[in-house]
Amino acid sequence: MTAEQLIERCRLLARFTEQPGVTTRTFLSEPMHGVHAQVRTWMEQAGMSVSVDHGGNIRGVYGPSAAPRFSIGSHLDTVPNAGAFDGILGVVLGIALVEQLARRRLPFGIEVIGFSEEEGVRFGVPFIGSRAFIGDIDDYLLARISDAIAKFGLDPNRIGEARASSDALGYLEFHIEQGPVLESFQLPLGIVETIAGQSRLDLTFEGRANHAGTTPMHLRRDALAGAAEWICAVEREGRAIPGAVATVGRIDASPGASNVIAGSTKVSLDVRHADDEVRHATVNRLLECAHQIAAARCLTVSHEQHLDQSAVAMDPFLTRQLQLAVESAGCPVHRMPSGAGHDAMIVARRMPTAMLFLRSPGGVSHHPDETVLAEDVESALNVGMRFLAQLEDRYA
């Protein structure tokens, strides 16, 4: 299996879509049936036994069914108008590694997993597939997704059967970086050390709506102007802290007319850092800054927190094995955090987990222009085979 063939497999799966002309494939939507059929064919040709669990994850098992398993995988859903490689490449690479074994058995089983959902598009909740895999689907979430599971031909009452075995050896995820760091260093691969923690909030600045033509500037209580001042402070704070990113991605000003001073403005805040203490301190400083700006402008401000996701460190032993595999493959070693969330951060709650990034040309992802370089895919495949060989020596 060549790198070009793996890339073509990803592009083939991109044709299974809810929207003609673009790739959009959400949790257990109709085109996922076609994806499963194609992935099943590749898995069976590689010598795997294949099933779809009741969380909608397709799972190919290579080796004795009773042996402890090492899992390799990623997700098969997409964002709207997506590229062909986010998530999907990790599944295709997992299958290719089994193919490379050419029916040779290892002292442990290999399970390749295509998770049903990671992006959170259909129900506004991410990681449904990997949460089912670790046994973390609560009754509230199950009630929201049960109709979709049943319509796909699965049984929501049996979703507990998707949980990984207690003797699982670990999990490895290949994924495109989705950012420009590796390309900026002219590196093909990156070893993920930590998946950054995330804070997501909404802030609402309240002032007074009034006529734009008759209200003097010094008598205004302009909520949008206050929010704008704070947004610039968010950017300064993000730039000042090494390793941090701070983003305001949404503004909703009310009443929203060109000739009316905004009486209320709601803005989002997304702060990420690999160190949770740094992240929390950053959020607290930004909230204090918002209150100072509001007070100076005779406004009020309130906030609502929607997410406080802790940073997740990858397993030290598996990360070390991944580094040794990268070195023996002749690739430069670069260890880095992930600013984006991935299934690996969910799976790490239950078993040792490692993650390898592939360079994203142009830093582009979640877009049709998303791509990979054939030489990077070849390097990742080489590293994966060396990684499995090291595990084989350990468990022989």
Q: What is the pLDDT of residues 119-150, one digit of tens each?
A: 999 998 999 999 999 999 999 999 999 999 99
Average pLDDT, the chain: 97
Query: Which pLDDT score is estimated for 288?
Result: 98
117 and 99 Cβ atoms separated by less than 8 Å: no
Predicted model pTM: 0.91
130: Cβ contacts below 8 Å, ≥ 6 apart? 75, 115, 118, 343, 346, 347
Say if CB 265 and CB 226 are below 8 A apart: yes
255 upstream amide cis, omega within 30 of 0: yes
pLDDT of the residue at 284 = 98
Confidence of residue 65 (pLDDT cuts 50, 70, 90): confident
pLDDT at 64: 87
**Residue range 252-277: average pLDDT?**
97
Give the residue-averaged pLDDT of 20-43: 98
* Partners of 261 in beta bridges: 210
Question: Reduced to 3 states, what is the DSSP secondary structure of residue 159?
Answer: helix
Q: What average pLDDT does this structure show over 16-29?
A: 97
Return the higher-pLDDT residue of 91 and 124: 91
* Contact predicate 187/359, CB 8 Å: yes
Dump strand ranges (E) for 169-236. Answer: 170-176, 189-195, 197-206, 210-211
What three-state secondary structure class fits 164? coil
Separation of alpha carbons 32 and 14, rounded Å: 11
Q: Which of 117, 166, 212 is nearest to 351 (CA)?
A: 166
Could you give the angle at the alpha carbon of 286 between the alpha carbons of 280 and 292, nearest 5°? Answer: 140
Q: What number of other Cβ atoms are within 10 A of residue 83's Cβ? A: 26
Cα(283)–Cα(246) distance, rounded to whole angstroms? 9
Domains of the chain from N-terminus onward:
3-195+311-395 (3.40.630.10), 197-309 (3.30.70.360)
Instruction: Give the residue-averaged pLDDT of 267-272.
Output: 97
Single-letter amino acid code for the residue at 109: G
Q: With a cut of 90, say whether residue 89 has pLDDT above it.
A: yes
> What single-letter amino acid sits at 73?
G
Instruction: Say what percent of the chain tops pLDDT 90.
Output: 97
pLDDT attached to residue 80 = 97
- Residue 195 pLDDT greater than 90, yes or no: yes
Strands 353-358 and 170-176: parallel
- Rounded to an integer, what is the distance from CA 170 to the centroid of its chain? 19
pLDDT for 396:
87
Given a contact cutoff of 8 angstroms between Cβ atoms, the answer to whether 269 and 199 are in contact is yes
**Mean local confidence (pLDDT), 45-57:** 98
Q: How confident is the model at residue 233 (pLDDT cuts 50, 70, 90)?
A: very high
Cβ neighbors of 61 (< 8 A, separation 6 or more) are 48, 49, 50, 51, 69, 109, 110, 111
The more confidently predicted of residues 368 and 66 is 368
Please answer whether residues 316 and 249 qualify as being in contact, where contact means their C-beta atoms are separated by less than 8 angstroms: no
Query: Residue 66: its pLDDT value, please?
Result: 86
Q: Which one, of 156, 186, 169, lies nearest residue 106 by Cα?
A: 169
Q: Are 360 and 89 spatial neighbours (Cβ–Cβ below 8 Å)?
A: no
Condensed to tens digits (0 to 9), the pLDDT of residues 319-357 reads 999 999 999 999 999 999 999 999 999 999 999 999 999
N-terminal to C-terminal alpha carbon distance within the chain:
27
